[in-house]
Structures are given as C-alpha cells and as structure tokens.
Amino acid sequence: MLFVAEYEVQWDMLEAAAAKRLEWNEADHPGFRFVGEYVWSAGEPAFRGVAVFHAESVELVNAFVLHYGSSLTMRVHPASDVVSSVRALTGKPLAAPRPRGAGQRTRPVSA
C-alpha cells in the first residue's frame, strides 16, 4: 500500500531526526521503499516535510514510525491516486483529459 507521512522536526531534535533518517536508510527493510521525500524549512518548527512510501504490511509502517520515536512528530495516511479514489467514491470512471490537437489555440498566460 501507498502511504504519506507528514512530519515536523523541532530545532532541538534536528540532529537526532537526521541521524534516525540515515539509520533507516542503512538498514534493510524488505517490503518498504520510499517513493519520494520532500522537506522545507519552516522556521518554527525547524523542518516540515512529507515522505511518500510503499509498505507491504502494517508492521513495516509501525516500524517506520516507531524508529523515529520522539525525534519528530509524524502523521501517516494511506494514499491512493485521484482517479482510483473518484472511481471508488462514485462508482464511475473519471474521464481522461482530452489531448490537445496541433490546431488548438492555447490562451496566453497573463503576467
């Protein structure tokens, strides 16, 4: 399953959280892989970010969260793509976007 983890790191835990991230990367976790990870400095807290990952079991999700302990605050959400979610919600397929033809005009972008 695909998951999104939102996290926040306080200044006093920044080094500990970075060390935990490196430790997780070094260890072997079959059935777990990062899809993407993004972080931005936020002032207070020091950093906020999201990690998108695939985990084959709830045990792997728990291991990931528990690995970081109190070094950061994390919220994990199961995720799915928009098209699948709309289909599950409505029971109807979402129409694919129409491709632009060579003769179609595009609107200019306003500055």
How much is the pTM?
Answer: 0.74
Neighbours of 85 (CB within 10 A): 12
CATH number at residue 24: 3.30.70.100
| Predicted pLDDT of residue 59 | 97
What tens digit of pLDDT does each residue of 30-81 get?
Answer: 999 999 999 998 778 888 999 999 999 999 999 999 999 999 999 999 998 8
Total domains in the chain come to 1
Phi, psi of 90 (to 5 degrees): -105, -20
DSSP state letters, 39-85? EEE-SSSSEEEEEEEEESSHHHHHHHHHHHGGGSEEEEEEE--HHHH
The answer to whether the Cα torsion of 6, 9, 36, 29 is positive or negative is negative
Is 59 contained in some domain? Answer: yes
Domain hosting residue 83, numbered range: 2-90
